[in-house]
Amino acid sequence: MQAKGWLYGYGLTAVLHGLAILAGWETIRFITKPLLMIILLVWFLFTANKGAKVRHWISTAIFFSWLGDIFLMNEGDQYFMAGLGSFLLAHLCYIFFFTFIRTGQSKMPAWNIYILVALSLYVGIFYFFLAPHLNNTLKPPVFIYAFVIAAMFASAYHAFSIRKSGSGLLCITGAALFILSDSLLAINAFIIPFTGASLAVMTTYILAQLTIVKGAQLCTEQAINERMALKSKL
Lowest-confidence pick of 48-57, 82-91, 114-123, 146-155 = 48-57
Say if residues 158 and 102 touch (Cβ distance below 8 Å). yes
Predicted model pTM: 0.91
> Is residue 228 very low, low, confident or very high in pLDDT (cuts 50, 70, 90)?
very low
Which tens digit of pLDDT belongs to each residue from 39-72? 999 999 988 877 667 789 999 999 999 999 999 9
| Confidence (pLDDT) at 205 | 98
User: Is the per-residue pLDDT at 188 higher than 50?
Assistant: yes
| Confidence (pLDDT) at 191 | 95
User: Is the per-residue pLDDT at 164 higher than 80?
Assistant: no
Sorted by where each begins, the domain ranges of the chain are 3-233
The whole-number average pLDDT for the span 131-153 is 95
| Confidence (pLDDT) at 233 | 46
| Confidence (pLDDT) at 7 | 92
User: Contacts by 202-207 with C-beta closer than 8 Å and gap 24+?
Assistant: 202/17, 202/18, 202/21, 202/33, 203/18, 204/177, 204/178, 204/180, 205/177, 205/178, 205/181, 206/14, 206/17, 206/36, 207/174, 207/177
Which tens digit of pLDDT belongs to each residue from 107-139? 777 889 999 999 999 999 999 999 999 999 999
